[in-house]
Amino acid sequence: MSKIIKRALISVSDKTGIVEFGKFLADRNIEILSTGGSASTLKESGISVVEVSEHTGFPEIMDGRIKTLQPTIHGGLLAVRGNLEHEAAMKEYNIAAIDLLCVNLYPFEETIATGSEFSECIENIDIGGPALIRAAAKNHAFVTVVVDPNDYIKVMDEMKSGAGTTSDKFRKQLAAIAFARTSSYDSAISSWFANQLGDSLPKHITLGGLRKQRLRYGENPHQEAAFYTNGESRPGVATAKQLQGKELSFNNLNDTDAAFELVAEFNNTACAIIKHANPCGVAHGANLADAYKKALACDPESAFGGIVAVNKTLDPEIAELIADLFAEVVIAPEIEEAAKKILAQKKSLRVLATGGMPDPKAKNMTVRSLSGGYLLQNRDNHVLENMRVVTKRQPTDREVSDLKFAFTVCKHVKSNAIIYARNGATVGIGAGQMSRVNSSRIAAWKAEDAAKIAGEKKSLAIKSVVASDAFFPFADGLLAAAEAGASAIIQPGGSVRDDEVISAADDAGLAMIMTDMRHFKH
């Protein structure tokens, strides 16, 4: 049902585009009701406005908490046109129909993102706005509701083509946007409030977000996908500025996030190369170029078409090296201008600058969908603290340093995960196998292949250390590492056969550390 719009209510926190929209309505002799700052902005631009308090005959009270929560307003939005009972009530109580509602909400998400005081956050919880939006959206058969300044132009085009009306289909589309906005808003409030109470897993949970971009497809071309942000200010792919290259794909975004979160674990200069959300190589270095060379040497074949992440300002030296490799994405906290020019020669390379590094210890939640529900858990933000030597042989200082490094990398590798490392660099990575011993064998095999590519006669696993994301259920995985040339092991422990595994380590002359902390990543 099409209906000419005669009266509009405008009450916005974000004033973007509101003057242009208001002039458009006024030029069509549409009566504009408004409140507070919105009314002032429109009046200052010469637009005729009727204050809501004048329209309702009831003043704004309680510091503006009560403005639009009035039967005169909500009746005008909710009345079913053509319903005799509704129209009789409108006549009896002097309720005028409101045909268009333009409302956006108090900036609650922005307020909590700045770390504002509890009381300020509470005051930025909008009550009247969501009530208005929900009323108008429910009655979309007769009311056009717009909550996003980006949609003003669409409303104006629709009214132009419809001779002052909007179509049923268009109003339904806007109503869907409106309900999604109030849902996301309420989600932000409830999540924040639960966090204030220290309740990370409340009884009811909602997931809110803003669509940042539609993606060409998901993991595969037959899957639809989009990227949503949740308002979190954590540096990473969601907040990064893309400096060049094609649009990021679903897989690009997933892999880039994995890469950047990995390098964020290290304070010293580090580089990680990621493929299919698993590291091809990770390394410390005297500088980024050094770290990159060491990371690439771990598995140069798999690194082709991978993601490169660094945790320091990207300089021209590493930029030259990256330009020689076919990479999908490069992500760094900052990028020097000279480095940007070098990378710009690779037109298809996606280059992201985040402006900072995320805190690996920060608390947050991760979510996975299941058939009929979700799995939520705290982000794995634990860092290595407890280490106890359980073997007769004590690890050397060099081994301890490499063991810490390897166990940190292990946290970001799909289980079952086995990491071989030497001198602050991975030399073999076994990921995602159903058997831990097979992961160990694959890591050793990769270390042999990497040595051949580098022109070395002996496997890179010789004199390396090994990290496991979970305990060795049997001694076979440990013995496979020893056979490959490893000299020390780090693992969580906790198996009923720990004594058997420790005895096997002693027999093999290995040093072994247990952490009492598992890092499964399924």
Which position has the token pair 């693992």? 491
Q: What is the DSSP pairing of strand 511-514 with strand 488-491? A: parallel
- Identity of residue 230: N
Helix (H, G, I), strand (E, B) or coil at 425: strand
Q: Last residue of some domain: 168, 196, 224?
A: 196
In a domain, 31, yes or no: yes
Residue 217: per-residue pLDDT: 93
Same domain, 347 and 417: no
Q: Is the pLDDT of residue 70 over 90?
A: no
In a domain, 301, yes or no: yes
Give 450-461 pLDDT, tens digit per residue.
888 888 888 988
In whole angstroms, give the CA distance from residue 204 to residue 327: 42
Q: Is the pLDDT of residue 441 over 60?
A: yes
The catalytic residue among 43, 154, 276, 293 is 276
Residue 313 has phi, psi (to 5 degrees) of: -60, 125
Give 321-365 pLDDT, tens digit per residue.
999 989 999 999 999 999 999 999 999 999 999 999 999 988 888
Mean pLDDT of 66-86: 87
Mean pLDDT of 406-421: 92
Mean pLDDT of 39-46: 92
In whole angstroms, give the CA distance from residue 32 to residue 45: 13
Same domain, 137 and 267: no
Percent of the chain predicted with pLDDT > 90: 59
In a domain, 177, yes or no: yes
Mean pLDDT of all residues in the chain? 91
Q: Is the pLDDT of residue 495 over 90?
A: no
Q: Last residue of some domain: 147, 177, 196?
A: 196
- Structural contact between residues 491 and 468, judged by C-beta atoms closer than 8 angstroms: yes
Give 123-172 pLDDT, tens digit per residue.
888 888 999 999 999 999 999 999 999 999 999 999 998 888 999 999 99
Residue 381: per-residue pLDDT: 86
Same domain, 314 and 175: no
Q: Which residue has the higher pLDDT, 67 or 495?
A: 495
Same domain, 429 and 346: no
Same domain, 47 and 170: yes
Residue 443 has phi, psi (to 5 degrees) of: -60, -40
Residues 6+ apart with CB under 8 A from 392: 506
Q: Is the pLDDT of residue 501 over 70?
A: yes
Mean pLDDT of 32-61: 87
- Structural contact between residues 129 and 106, judged by C-beta atoms closer than 8 angstroms: yes
Annotate 199-257 with DSSP letters as a single string.
Answer: -SS-SS-----EEEEEES-SSSTTS-EEEEE-S---SSTTTPEEEESSPPPHHHHHHHH
pTM of the shown model: 0.82
Q: Last residue of some domain: 147, 180, 196?
A: 196
Same domain, 395 and 339: no
Helix (H), strand (E) at residue 366: strand 365-370
Handedness of CA 388, 391, 395, 401 (dihedral sign): negative
| CATH at residue 330 | 3.40.140.20
CA separation, residue 467 to residues 121, 163, 244, 276, 289 (Å): 44, 70, 37, 21, 25
In whole angstroms, give the CA distance from residue 188 to residue 479: 50
In whole angstroms, give the CA distance from residue 378 to residue 374: 13
Residue 201: per-residue pLDDT: 83
Which position has the token pair 């990227």? 227
Residues 6+ apart with CB under 8 A from 247: 213, 215, 216
In whole angstroms, give the CA distance from residue 311 to residue 37: 44
Same domain, 425 and 473: yes
In a domain, 493, yes or no: yes
Nearest 5°: the CA angle 233, 235, 241 is: 100
Residue 308 domain boundaries = 235-353
Same domain, 50 and 160: yes
pLDDT band at 233 (very low <50, low <70, confident <90, very high): confident
pLDDT band at 97 (very low <50, low <70, confident <90, very high): very high
Residue 366: per-residue pLDDT: 85
Same domain, 413 and 470: yes
In a domain, 325, yes or no: yes
- Structural contact between residues 319 and 295, judged by C-beta atoms closer than 8 angstroms: no
Active site residue 154: no
- Identity of residue 237: V
Active site residue 276: yes
Residue 37: per-residue pLDDT: 85
The catalytic residue among 23, 43, 138, 246 is 138
Residue 65: per-residue pLDDT: 76
| CATH at residue 13 | 3.40.50.1380
Instruction: Spell out a b/e string for 469-507, using b for 16 or more CB atoms within 10 Å of the CB, else e.
Output: bbbbbebbbbbbbbebbbbbbbbbbeeeebeebbebbee
Same domain, 335 and 391: no
Residue 55 has phi, psi (to 5 degrees) of: -65, -40
Q: Which residue has the higher pLDDT, 34 or 383?
A: 34
Q: Is the pLDDT of residue 229 over 70?
A: yes
Choose from 64-78, 99-113, 131-145, 447-461 the range with maximum mean pLDDT. Answer: 131-145
- Structural contact between residues 343 and 319, judged by C-beta atoms closer than 8 angstroms: yes
Helix (H), strand (E) at residue 294: helix 288-298
Domain total in the chain: 3
The pair of three-digit structure tokens given for residue 273, joined into one six-digit string: 């190369």
- Structural contact between residues 436 and 479, judged by C-beta atoms closer than 8 angstroms: no
Q: Is the pLDDT of residue 1 over 60?
A: no
Residue 2: per-residue pLDDT: 52
Give 2-18 pLDDT, tens digit per residue.
578 999 999 998 999 99
Q: Which of 76, 56, 77 is nearest to 67 (CA)?
A: 56
Residues shown for the chain: 522
In whole angstroms, give the CA distance from residue 443 to residue 397: 23
Mean pLDDT of 428-435: 88
Helix (H), strand (E) at residue 40: helix 36-44
In a domain, 329, yes or no: yes
In a domain, 217, yes or no: no
pLDDT band at 506 (very low <50, low <70, confident <90, very high): very high
Mean pLDDT of 47-56: 86
In a domain, 264, yes or no: yes
Same domain, 165 and 245: no
Same domain, 30 and 174: yes
